Chain A
C-alpha cells in the first residue's frame, strides 16, 4: 500500500512563532500531487497548500510554505507567525493521477497565547 505518514500526532506552538509539521509518503508514480489540508474542530476540511511533484520550487501561500524533498519523499509544512485560528488538525495527502486523495493520520496543532 502506498502510504502517507505523519509522525507527529500533536504539536504545540506559541502565537507569532513558527512551527513545522512533518510528512513523508510512499509512491511508485512519477506524476503526483501533494496537499496539506486543515480541519478545524467540527468544521469542514479546507485546502492549505498544494505542490505538484514535477515542480522543483516549493509552494508558498502567505504564512504557509512547504519544504518538498522529492528524492526523500518528504513534504513538510511550515507555518510562520502562528495565529490562534491556526489551531486544527492538519492532514498531509497525496494524489496520483487517479485523483483520489490518500491521507495521513493527521497532526493536531495547538496554538497557545
Chain B
C-alpha cells in the first residue's frame, strides 16, 4: 500500500456536466476526508467519513455535491451540474484511530470547468 490514491489526477469538463472522483485511502484507515483547495488558498474541509458513515459535512458542500464511502473502503465525490466556481484541486486524506492522528493526503484531482 503506497498511500492515498486519487483518480483521475486531472479532469476538464464542460459547465453543466457531472463529474465523479475516486479516493482509495490507506487500507487500514477508518477515517476519510475530502477537502477543496483553490489557487492561493489553504484546503477547505468538505466532508468526513468514519468507516462508511458520513459524520460531518461543511456548508461548502452544496446539494450539487455528494460523497459516498460504500463498505468503508474507497470513496467517491460527485459534483452535478458543474459550475466554473467548482474549478479547484480536490484533496482526499485518510487517518487511523480515535484521536487526531496524522492525516495522509493524496495528490489530489485538479478539476477545470470550462
Residues of A within 8 A of B (CB): 4, 33, 37, 43-47, 50, 52, 91, 93, 95, 98-106
* B108 engages A101 (CB within 8 Å): no
Judged by a CB distance under 8 angstroms, whether B45 is at the interface is yes
Interface residues of B in 21-44 (CB under 8 A from A): 31, 33, 35, 40-44
Segment at the interface with A among B11-19, B63-71, B72-80, B98-106: B98-106
Contact pick for B33, options A33, A50, A100, CB 8 Å: A100
If A104-B42, A105-B40 touch, does A99 touch B48 (CB 8 Å cutoff)?
Answer: yes
Judged by a CB distance under 8 angstroms, whether B107 is at the interface is yes
**Min CB distance, B91 to chain A, in Å?**
7
* A100 engages B45 (CB within 8 Å): yes
* B105 engages A45 (CB within 8 Å): yes
* B103 engages A105 (CB within 8 Å): no
CB-CB under 8 A from B4, the residues of chain A are 44
CB-CB under 8 A from A44, the residues of chain B are 3-4, 105-108
Number of A-B contacts (CB under 8 A): 55
Number of B residues with CB within 8 Å of any CB on chain A: 25
- The secondary-structure label for the interface of chain A is strand
Closest to B91 in A: A45
Whole-angstrom CA separation of A95 from B93 in the bound complex: 14
* A101 engages B103 (CB within 8 Å): yes
CB-CB under 8 A from B42, the residues of chain A are 4, 91, 93, 103-106
The 3 closest A-B pairs by CB, nearest first: A103-B42, A33-B100, A45-B105
Whole-angstrom CA separation of A20 from B93 in the bound complex: 27
Closest to B95 in A: A99
* B108 engages A99 (CB within 8 Å): no
